[in-house]
Amino acid sequence: MTVLDPRALNRATLARQLLLDRADVPVLDAVAHLGGLQAQEPQEPFVGLWSRLRAFDPAVLSSLLTRRQVVRTHLMRRTVHLLVADDAVAWRSRHQAMLCQRVLGVYRGELDGVDLDELAAAARALLADGEPRSMPEIGRALGERWPTPGPRALGEMAMALVPLTQLPPRGVWRMTGGARHVLLSAWLGREVHPPTPDGADSVGQILVRRYLAAFGPAATADVRAWCGLAGLPAAVAAMRDELVTFRDERGRKLIDLADAPRPDPETPAPVRFLPAFDNAILGYDDRSRIIDDAHRLLSVAGERVVLVDGRVAATWRVEAGTVTVNPLTDFSRADRTAVAEQGQALALFLSDEESDRVRVAASPR
C-alpha cells in the first residue's frame, strides 16, 4: 500500500481546500465544496473565502445569506457553520443525535428528569410564531415550564433538538448583531429531510464523499473529527468499491476518492492567511499534515494563522488598522517578503482598499 508522507498529504489538502491555487468558482459553489465554513466568529468566513477565491466580493456572500441560499446553523461538532441551504436541510437529521449528546455531556445533571421529546415540542411551539429569539430568550421562555435546569441548559438543549438558523444581520459583511434564531424550515420554506431508514446511511456516505473531496486523503478518525459523527465507518464500508487506500507514516489507513487531486509533493505552496478556527486545520484528528504538534493548540484557541510552504508558520491579527504577523518559526528573506506581500493584499481587502499597512515581527530566537 502506498505510503503518503506529511508533505504529500499537505499538498493534497491545500489543493482540495482551494489554498494551492485560488479558485475561479462562484461563492456558493465554494461553500458547498468545502462542506461549509466554520463560522463561530461571524466575519471569519469572509477571510477564509478571500484566501481561496479569485476576485472574492464579500457582498456576494452577504447576499447569499440574506437571500437564504446559505445559512448559519449549529451542525458539525456542534459549532456554528456557514452552509449552503441544501446541505443544511439534507444533513441536519444525521447530526441530531450527536448534537444532543454533546449538550448532555455538559448539562446532563441540569436536564435530569426533563423529557426531551416534550422539550422539543415546547421549543417548536414557542418558535412557531416566527419571532427571532436569542438562545437565552428561548431558555427563559422554556424555563416557565421547567424552572430547575436554568435557561442556558434549556436553550442549548432546545437548539440541539430543533433545527434552527441564525438570522442576518449576523454574519453579514461589516455588520454586527447578536445571534437570533428561527426555525430552519420556516426560514427556508421547506422541511428538514427526515432520518434515513434503519440500516441505510445514504447521508453518511454523502458526508464521507464530500469530506474526502475537500480534505482527503484521510483516516476515518479524521472524518469524525470534522463532523463529530461516530457512526461513519459503516458508511465507509458500504463505499469500499469506490475508494482507494493509502497509509500515512504512522501506519494509519487513509481512504480517498480515486479521481481526487493528489499533487506532486514538491508543488510550490503560496503564502495564505487563514481565519480563526479554519477547517483546513480543525477538520482532522491528525493535524500534523498542516501544523506542528507544538503549535496545535493555536488551532483551537481562535488564533488566525499564516501558512508558509503550506504549514502554519505564524499568527496574525489586525492592530490599529495594520495587519500584524508574528512568526512562529524562522523566516527566510523570501518568506518574509511573500508574507508581507500577501499581508498587504489582506490589509487592502479588510480596509476596502484604504490601507495596505502590514508589519511582520521578528522571527523567534
The backbone torsions φ and ψ at residue 324, rounded to the nearest 5 degrees and listed phi first, read: -110, 125
Give the mean pLDDT of 193-218: 92
Q: What is the mean pLDDT of residues 350-356?
A: 95
* Helix, strand, or coil (residue 353): coil
What is the spatial order of strands in the sheet that 164-166 belongs to?
37-38, 80-84, 70-74, 164-166, 181-183
Going by pLDDT thresholds of 50, 70 and 90, the confidence category of residue 199 is confident
What rounded mean pLDDT belongs to the chain? 96
Q: Are 280 and 290 in contact (CB under 8 A)?
A: yes
Task: Indicate the length of the chain as a whole number.
Answer: 365
Mean per-residue pLDDT, 181-194: 97
User: What is the per-residue pLDDT for 208?
Assistant: 97
For residue 285, name the pLDDT band (cuts at 50, 70, 90).
very high
Is the pLDDT at 58 greater than 80? The verdict is yes
Distance of CA 305 to the CA centre of its chain: 15
Kindly report, residue by residue over 94-133, the tens digit of the pLDDT: 999 999 999 999 999 999 999 999 999 999 999 999 999 9
**pLDDT surpassing 90 at residue 219:** yes
pLDDT digits (tens, 9 = 90+) for 9-26: 999 999 999 999 999 999
pLDDT of residue 4: 98
Q: What pLDDT, in 10s, does the model give residues 65-75?
A: 999 999 999 99
When pLDDT is cut at 50, 70 and 90, the band that residue 290 belongs to is very high
Q: C-alpha angle with apex 101: 169 to 230, nearest 5 degrees?
A: 100
Specify the residue for cell string 466554520: 38
* Per-residue cell: 157: 438543549
The CA distance from 208 to 31, in Å, is 16
Span 181-185, average pLDDT = 98
Per the model's pLDDT, the better-predicted residue between 300 and 38 turns out to be 38
Bigger pLDDT: 230 vs 141: 141
Residue 198 has pLDDT above 80, yes or no: no
Q: In which residue are the cell numbers 427556508 written?
A: 188
For the whole model, what pTM was predicted?
A: 0.96
Q: Average of pLDDT values for 27-31?
A: 98
Helices 220-227 and 202-215, packing angle to 10 deg: 100
pLDDT at 365: 74
State yes or no: cis peptide before 58, omega within 30 of 0: no
Q: Could you list the beta-strand ranges (E) of 116-209.
A: 164-166, 181-183
* 169 pLDDT more than 80: yes
Nearest to 73 by CA among 180, 205, 206: 180
User: What pLDDT shows up at residue 231?
Assistant: 82
How far is it, in rounded angstroms, from Cα 39 to Cα 276?
9
DSSP H helices, 44-163, are: 44-50, 58-66, 85-107, 116-127, 135-143, 151-161
- By 3-state DSSP, what share of the chain in percent is helix, strand and coil, each rounded to 5? 45, 15, 40
CA separation for the pair 11, 313 (Å, rounded)? 16
Closest CA to 207 of 244, 184, 234, 188: 234
Instruction: Please state, in angstroms and rounded to a whole number, the distance separating the CA atoms of residues 48 and 276.
Output: 9
Report the pLDDT averaged over residues 255-274.
Answer: 97
Which pLDDT does position 197 carry in this prediction?
A: 79
Cell of 337: 517578503
Cα angle, residue 188 at apex, residues 186 and 189 outer, rounded to 5°: 65
Say whether pLDDT at 200 is over 80: no
pLDDT cut 70: percent of the chain above it: 100
